[in-house]
């Protein structure tokens, strides 16, 4: 049984990310979850670079958020499949983050996403001090919490309003606006990393899909090919 540790004194200071376990020994449950995290991170990177020209933000992918001291320590952490925190340094004292420790940072994630591997009960569990939903809502406080189920091609998005999560309604495009980021979140059916699935993806607020770096490069190649074809139709040979 997990037991809370007494509040530290000056002689026992709160541990930081270098002193806490970075894993509880579990592993990604299927082959889709890791590509899904990469897809979200890759496509939103240009948005975050504009939002944070100083580079002060971090993204966690299946990384622990420590919210209380327990014995063993890792029982006091939740590990969203994907989360974003703004206005924090990507490195701490020049070191790669091993986890996100709330009592050292104080800034809550703006959004946390869970990818359902089972029946979704765990992600919707509101049991005080134990359930994921309760911990996010009452302790970690991401402004937005999303529950994505690839098997159902669906995502639920909650917004923290008055200290409680309220289920958001989809807009006319079937997306969920995340206004602080200037994006929408929704389901995109397509192929990514050799898998045809209903993927969780970002759009801008005008409904334009945010592309990955590979997709942007392919779009530019197609644009160049069209331009070359137009020039040749006019009898002009493009410069090499």
pLDDT by position in tens, the chain (length 240)? 434 444 444 445 677 666 555 555 555 568 899 999 999 999 999 999 999 999 999 999 999 999 999 999 889 999 999 999 999 999 998 999 999 999 999 899 999 999 998 899 999 999 999 999 999 999 999 999 999 999 999 999 999 999 999 999 999 999 999 999 999 999 999 999 999 999 999 999 999 999 999 999 988 888 887 887 877 777 777 776
Q: Kindly state the helix (H) or strand (E) to which residue 42 belongs, with its residue range.
A: helix 33-51
pTM score, whole prediction: 0.85
SS3 222: helix
What pLDDT is attached to residue 177? Answer: 98
pLDDT at 16: 65
> Burial of 91 by CB count in 10 Å (0-12 exposed, 13-18 middle, 19+ buried)?
exposed
User: For the chain, how are helix, strand and coil distributed in percent, rounded to 5?
Assistant: 25, 30, 45
- At residue 177, what are phi and psi to the nearest 5 degrees? -65, 130
The pair of three-digit structure tokens given for residue 189, joined into one six-digit string:
């059916």
Smallest CA-to-CA distance from 83 within 128, 143, 132, 24 is with 143
CATH 3.40.1350 corresponds to the domain 3-209: no
Please give the pLDDT value at position 240: 63
Q: Which helix (H) or strand (E) holds 71?
A: strand 70-71
């Amino acid at each position: 049984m997990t037991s809370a540790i007494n509040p530290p004194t000056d002689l026992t200071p709160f541990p930081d990310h270098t002193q806490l376990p970075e894993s509880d020994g579990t592993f990604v449950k299927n082959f889709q979850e890791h590509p899904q995290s990469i897809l979200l991170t890759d496509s939103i990177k240009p948005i975050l670079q504009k939002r944070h020209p100083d580079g002060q933000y971090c993204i966690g992918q299946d990384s622990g958020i420590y919210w209380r001291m327990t014995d063993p320590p890792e029982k006091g952490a939740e590990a969203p499949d994907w989360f974003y925190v703004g206005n924090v340094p990507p490195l701490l004292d020049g070191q790669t983050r091993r986890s996100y420790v709330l009592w050292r940072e104080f800034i809550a994630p703006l959004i946390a996403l869970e990818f359902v591997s089972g029946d979704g009960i765990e992600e919707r569990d509101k049991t005080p001090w134990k359930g994921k939903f309760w911990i996010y809502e009452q302790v970690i406080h991401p402004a937005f919490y999303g529950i994505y189920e690839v098997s159902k091609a669906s995502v639920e998005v909650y917004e923290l309003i008055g200290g409680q999560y309220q289920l958001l309604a989809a807009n006319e495009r079937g997306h969920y606006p995340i206004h602080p980021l200037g994006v929408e979140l929704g389901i995109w059916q397509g192929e990514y990393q050799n898998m045809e699935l209903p993927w969780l993806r970002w759009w801008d607020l005008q409904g334009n899909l945010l592309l990955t770096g590979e997709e942007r490069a392919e779009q530019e190649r197609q644009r160049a090919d069209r331009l070359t074809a137009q020039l040749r139709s006019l009898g002009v040979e493009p410069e090499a």
